[in-house]
Structure 1
Amino acid sequence: MTRSPHGNPAFLSLAHLTLIDADPLTLVDAAAAGRFDAIGLRIVPPMPTDRIVPVIGDEVLIRDIERRLDATGIRVFDIEAVWLTPETDVVRLRPALELGARLGANHLLVVGNDPEAGRLRDNFAGLCDLAAGFGIGVALEMMSYVALNTLPKAFRLLDEVRRPNARLLIDALHLMRSGGKPADLVGLSPALFPYVHLCDAAAARPPDLERLRYEGRSGRFYPGEGELPLVDLMHALPADIAVAVEAPCAAYAGLSPLERARICGAATRALLSAAQAARTAGQWGKRE
């Protein structure tokens, strides 16, 4: 694994969902406290019912974010989260991409939640083209409780669209909950994966869609604190892949965002160190 400017075993980004109650400035401070290198900043609500701190168009807040990034050395790694639904109007996402480019984001996180395959394909292609104009890559995340919920569906969409800035974001939880496994990723081109969403969870899959959704949004564990085969996952992915920790954990909800980030960062570094040690010792696959 490559080493980050903070001396971590890999480049680490703190996904906003991990601290979804944190405003953007607090998220930056928390990332610095947890020795992360970057943040994933939520500037688009996934669904209309989701509430976020509005950033687009708020010039005062944007300048405050820029100053806080400069002061801490934290950067914006990705912006999120665009859910492509039957109601999506890709053109209306231009302000989000403009802001992402201004803040230096590399990636836009996208989820496919449209049951009509042709419309999903066209919207995804259009969004990739729009993002390319801003120099932003599109990270397609398959999720266990939306329409695009399996690896084969994600591969099919990427193959149909064939945009050079479109790549596949693997989330540890959603890979396992969709019936996938780390071995499914072995042998695929390293260029396919822009980064990985790391978290942990219990081994057992929740029994219904509603509890899958709750687990994904609130009931995850920090890396290494659950039973997912994370060491095998890291070995199946490129050795130098960037890691974004997306681990909203109800067990730590009573702590401050900065304290949660410190615990989460330490847990992640310990897990990645264990994965690196296992790779060096040739123990890949022992936990699967």
Structure 2
Amino acid sequence: MTFQGDGPLDTGGVSGGGGGGGGRIAIGGGVGLVVTVVALLFGINPGDILGEDGGSSTGSGAGASAGNSAIDDQIHSCTIAKANTDTICRIVATTNSLNKVWPTMLSRYTPPETKIFTGSVQTQGCGVASSAVGPFYCPEDRTAYFDPSFFDELHDKLGGSNGPLAQEYVVAHEFGHHVQNLMGTMSKAQSLGSQGPTSGSVRLELQADCYAGVWAEHADKGPNAMLKTLTQDQISEVIQTAKAIGDDTLSGNNDSEGWTHGSAAQRVRWFTNGYRGGDPRDCGTFDTDQL
């Protein structure tokens, strides 16, 4: 358990979406995680890169509507207590916590939209995305997208943790991209390229990890904190997940020229930087080559 208390969650800005009936596409060794960065930086339709049929994978008609309605019903039934046992409610509760923490550090913070989908989803600016891309943030529509099945893939196939805080770290990472969008960091990243050990995409991803750590440091503090006091075991679960989605772990080699997210060690280091200091100014991945 990570969340404390009970009562309803704020579900404003969180909705169901996606085709549902389009089916879930396996992550396949982390290829989808690379697609996330490509779409993030250049607005390319993820389906084009993965070779998917964007028209057929979005779902349509009564089946898609029923799928969206079921997710919406579950979202609106969420309480703080349910967030400790239900993945969709955990995503909602984490957005609530993030939207409490970030305004205290960024005066111009405005919450992103959050879309929870199954199978595939049509974004408003980043094309069609299936479950294969993993969680992602689309800067064009300022929306973070999550298929809850990703967490099973992360644990069962990629070796990440299925602990609650590890899942919350994934949500916080995508909100970190929203913070970058608000601060204009994404346009800076575009000029530094999408691949390589010091590329703009690697710097973006490591900074988002650091921002997730900043959130974690603050999320259990103060009288209105939504999280119970975090334990070292929970932080270790986050580190396990960060290691599992490092470029060297996913590819099985140390060829850094194709990196888009950073190595396992780098992802752990930058999350830890944010968590230890709790200050976004400690997340200067664009100010150093010592990533």
Q: TM-score, normalised by structure 1?
A: 0.28
Higher strand share: 1
| The structure with more helix, counted as a fraction of residues | 2
What TM-score, normalized to structure 2? 0.28
